[in-house]
């Protein structure tokens, strides 16, 4: 995500082309995820450790390259806002719904789309199965390694896109470590969303709302200290882990490497 944000800003500054910037960010996220896929899938490394490794690499890499980025002093292109014309003038609902950038709309469209792919296509079925019982997938004649690579790569592509959105939606520049561990909060959202794409999307919106609340609490002053709102996603996660949302079942082989030689 961080690498996506960085690449997005860099390309946006250099080319002034919005589409190129977003595509660049997605590709950068994908490339980084391939490093992780090689370590975790092919080399069967511990996924926690390699995950942290790749994370530190992203932080370090963007920090090292940051001075070069700061040397360019122009304005970037931003995510264009979809102009809904008169609809924008509807009180309250107008600015809330009809004054959003295409990034927001992409998030709203991609969630049901990925859900459709996961549950209604052969390929989605295989992808879901490969995290549950890789041996069953292998005996069905499919390639576990290939599927897992694709799964990680897709995650990387989406993270790259997320990074581009974070940096280019309205700020238009890159700040060191600007993601502030949002990637890890996604893991929490998975638990709260019971590993279901629809609930997961709702959990993400909820977490986003908490973030928005704390920003406004800082800006306008609030009875409660703004840190309370910052705490909300974590409180929700703890509640979810304590079983308040019912049976949450992570995929059976979550973070487990696949070893084809093991009978």
Q: Choose which of 14, 106, 142, 145 interacts with another protein (CB under 8 A).
A: 142
Q: Which range of residues in 16-24, 30-38, 75-83, 120-128 is near another protein by CB under 8 A? A: 120-128
- Counting contacts by CB under 8 A, is residue 122 touching another protein? yes
- Shortest Cβ 116–another protein spacing (Å): 10
Cα-based distances in Å from 221 to 53, 79, 218, 225, 230: 39, 30, 5, 8, 15
Do 7 and 166 meet the contact criterion of CB atoms below 8 Å apart? no
Residue 107 contacts by C-beta under 8 Å, 6 or more apart in sequence? 165
Q: Choose which of 64, 140, 187, 223 interacts with another protein (CB under 8 A).
A: 140
- Per-residue tokens: 25: 């960010």
Can you spell out the DSSP letters for 221-259? --SS-HHHHHHHHHHHHHHHHTTTTS-----TTTT----
Which lies closer to another protein via its Cβ, residue 74 or residue 261? 261
- Counting contacts by CB under 8 A, is residue 252 touching another protein? yes
Which lies closer to another protein via its Cβ, residue 73 or residue 247? 247
Which lies closer to another protein via its Cβ, residue 127 or residue 167? 127
Q: Which range of residues in 16-24, 134-142, 150-158, 171-179 is near another protein by CB under 8 A? A: 134-142
Q: Choose which of 9, 40, 137, 159 interacts with another protein (CB under 8 A).
A: 137
Residue 256 contacts by C-beta under 8 Å, 6 or more apart in sequence? 47
Q: Choose which of 129, 190, 210, 240 interacts with another protein (CB under 8 A).
A: 129
- Counting contacts by CB under 8 A, is residue 128 touching another protein? yes
Q: Choose which of 49, 93, 136, 209 interacts with another protein (CB under 8 A).
A: 136
DSSP state of 86: G
- Counting contacts by CB under 8 A, is residue 146 touching another protein? no
What spatial distance separates the first Cα and last Cα of the chain, rounded to whole Å? 37
Q: Choose which of 15, 121, 180, 227 interacts with another protein (CB under 8 A).
A: 121
Do 4 and 25 meet the contact criterion of CB atoms below 8 Å apart? yes
- Shortest Cβ 30–another protein spacing (Å): 21
Cα-based distances in Å from 241 to 36, 166, 179, 189, 229: 27, 28, 24, 11, 19
- Sites of contact with another protein (CB under 8 A): 120-123, 125-126, 128-129, 132-133, 135-142, 249, 251-252, 263
């Amino acid at each position: 995500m961080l690498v996506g944000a960085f690449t997005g800003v860099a390309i946006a500054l250099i080319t002034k082309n919005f589409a190129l910037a977003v595509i660049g960010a997605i590709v950068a996220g994908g490339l980084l995820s391939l490093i992780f896929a090689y370590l975790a899938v092919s080399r069967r490394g511990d996924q926690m450790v390699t995950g942290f490794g790749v994370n530190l690499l992203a932080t370090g890499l963007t920090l090292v390259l940051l001075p070069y980025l700061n040397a360019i002093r122009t304005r970037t292109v931003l995510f264009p806002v979809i102009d809904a014309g008169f609809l924008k003038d509807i009180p309250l609902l107008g600015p809330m719904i009809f004054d959003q950038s295409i990034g927001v709309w992409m998030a709203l469209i991609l969630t049901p789309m990925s859900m459709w792919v996961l549950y209604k296509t052969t390929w989605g079925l295989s992808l879901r199965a490969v995290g549950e019982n890789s041996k069953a997938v292998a005996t069905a004649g499919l390639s576990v390694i290939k599927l897992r690579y694709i799964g990680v790569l897709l995650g990387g592509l989406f993270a790259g896109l997320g990074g581009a959105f974070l940096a280019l939606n309205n700020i238009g520049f890159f700040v060191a470590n600007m993601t502030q561990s949002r990637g890890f909060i996604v893991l929490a959202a998975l638990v709260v969303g019971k590993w279901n794409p629809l609930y997961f999307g709702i959990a993400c919106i909820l977490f986003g709302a908490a973030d928005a609340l704390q920003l406004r609490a800082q800006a306008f002053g609030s009875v409660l200290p703004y840190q309370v709102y910052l705490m909300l996603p974590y409180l929700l996660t703890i509640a979810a882990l304590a079983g308040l949302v019912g049976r949450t079942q992570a995929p059976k082989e979550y973070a487990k490497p696949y070893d084809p030689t093991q009978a």
